[in-house]
Amino acid sequence: MSSRRSDEIKKGVERTAHRALLYSTGLGKGNLERPFVGVVSSFSSLVPGHAGMRELERFIEKGVEAGGGTPFIFGVPAVCDGIAMGHGGMRYSLPLRELVADSIESVAQAHCLDGLVLLTNCDKITPGCLMAAGRVNIPTIIITAGPMLSGRHEGRRLSYVRDTWEALGRLKAGEITEEDLASLEKEACPGVGSCSGLYTANSMACLGEVLGMSLPGSGTALAVSAKRGQLAYESGKRVVKIIEEDLLPRKIMVKEAFENAIRADMALGGSTNTVLHLLAIAYEAKVKLSLSSFDRISRQIPHLVNLRPGGENFMEDLEEAGGVPGLLNTLREHLADCPTVCGKSIKRIAEEGRVHNREIIRDLSCPYHKEGGIAILYGSLAPEGAVVKQSAVAEQRKKLEGIVRVFDSEEEAVGAIHKDEINEGEIIVIRYEGPKGGPGMREMLSPTSAVVGMGLSQKAALITDGRFSGGTRGPCVGHISPEAQEGGCIALLKDGDKVLIDIPGRKLEVNLSSKELEERKKGWRRPACKIKEGYLARYSRLVGPASQGAVLG
C-alpha cells in the first residue's frame, strides 16, 4: 500500500495517542486503513442556497464509503449576499472568501487529510473553496448545492433581483403598490438553492465545472432534483479514486483551464465578480492570470447564453438545454484540452455534450452579442482597469459621456436616488467602497437596482471602486483600480467633472488634464479606515487591489 498523508497521524507506535482519539469518534481499525476524506460543508439554515445541504452531506458520506474512503465532516461559514446586501453586513461578504479558504487549509493540514469534497453554493463560498483547493493542493472535488427554481406569480416567472430589489424602485416610482410588493416578496424565491438567474453563485458553479474541479452537470442541476443527490454521491465516490491517482488541483487548474473558464464565462455573460474570483483562484493555484486576459478572450468569444438579469431565461432553462456540457460542445473548437476530476478531459466532455434548445444556448453563428459578456475598461480614471457586464447594457448606452455626481458611500448614493435627485445624463460615482476603503468592496445592488426600478437606467450611469451583484444590469462600471482609498483618480473627482464611458472602445476617462489631476492629488488626504477593530480592520490593512483579485498579502 502506498503511503498517504493521513499516515502521519495514524501509522506507527508513535501515533498510539492519535489513534486513541480517532477511535473515540467511533472509528474502527478498518476505517483507519482507508484514505481520510474531509467533507467540507458550508451548511447554514440562514442561507437559502445552503439550507438543503444536510441531505447532500449524507450522499457525499455514502459515496466516500462506497469508494473505499473514511469521511469526516467539518464546517465552514456561509453568508447570504442578498440578506447582507444594502447595509454594513455586505462588508463581510468578500472577506468571507478568505476565511473559507483559510478554514479549509487549517483543518486539512492540521489533520493530514488525503482528499477533500467541498460542498458549497453561494457567492463567496464557492471561490473560497476553489482557492483552498489550489492552496492546499490535495485531491479535491467541488460539489455545489444547486440553483433554486424560478418563482411564479400571476402566470409569470419571477427572479430574486428583478422582483424584489428592482421592484422596490418601481414602488418608489409609483408603478406598483405595497400589496404588489408583498406578493412578490413571498413568491420570488420558492425554495432552497442559489438564486435562479446567472448571478455570482451560479456563474461560479458553472466555471468550477469548466475548470475541471466538479463532475459534469454540477453547475446547473437544480437544488430540488434527484440529480443533485446523485452528483453528491458520485463526487464522494470519485474523490477516493483521484486520491489513488494523485490527481491534484494544480494538475487540473492550469493556465489553459483558466482560459477555458474565461471563454465559458464570456459565452454565459456571467457576473462581473467572476473576474475577481478567477484571479484569486489562479493566484492560489500558482497560475499567472492577468486582467487583460479577460478582455482579450471577450473579443474572441461571443455571448451565447442570456439568462437573468440581462435576459429573460433562468438556470432551470440552461439545465434543460444541456447545461455546461452543452455550452462546452458549442465552444469545443475554442477549448484547450485539460484533465478534470471526472477522469475525462474537458474536450471529451465537450464532445459528449448536447444542446437541446438553441435559443437558450445559441450557436456561434447566431450569438446574442458578438462579444463576450464582460469587458475591461482602461483610461485616466482606471489605469489598472475596471469591469463592466456589457451583455447587460443596452446597445445605445454602451458609449456615453456625462457629468458626475460624487458620493463617498453607498448609503449617500441610495438616498439621493430614492429622493429622485439624479438628473438625466448624470453619472453616479460611489467611491471609498473598494477592498481597502469599504472595507470589503461591497456589492452595489441597492443603488443599481434602484436606478433600474425607478426608470433611470436609460438616463444615468454608475461607476464605483466597489463591486456589483451578479444581478446588476445597465451601464454600471465597477472594480475601478486604483481605488479611492489608495489615492486613485476616482478619489479626485468633483461634482461637475465630465467622464466618458466607452465600452466598445474599452475606455473610462475623466476630462481633466494631468496637471489638474496632479494639483488635486496634492490636496488629497487618505481617510482613516471606516472600521477600527476586528477582522475588517485587519482585512483593510492586508488586502490587495481588485485588479489582482483582492487577495490578502
Kindly list the catalytic residues. 469
* Lookup result for grid cell 498517504: 4
Rounded CA-CA distance 446/535 in Å is 24
Q: How far is CA 49 from CA 12, 71, 148, 192, in A?
A: 43, 23, 8, 6
Asked if residue 124 lies in contact with residue 100, where contact means CB atoms within 8 angstroms, the answer is yes
Q: 325, 338, 264, 255: which is closest to 300 by C-alpha?
A: 264
Rounded CA-CA distance 23/41 in Å is 23
Asked if residue 235 lies in contact with residue 165, where contact means CB atoms within 8 angstroms, the answer is no
Q: DSSP for 380-392? A: TTEEEEEEE-GGG
Q: How far is CA 205 from CA 52, 75, 147, 219, 237, in A?
A: 16, 19, 9, 5, 20
Q: Are strands 156-158 and 151-153 parallel, antiparallel or unpaired?
A: antiparallel
Rounded CA-CA distance 353/326 in Å is 5
Angle at 197 between CA 194 and CA 199, to 5 degrees: 75
Asked if residue 530 lies in contact with residue 439, where contact means CB atoms within 8 angstroms, the answer is yes
Q: Count CB atoms within 10 A of the CB of residue 423.
A: 12
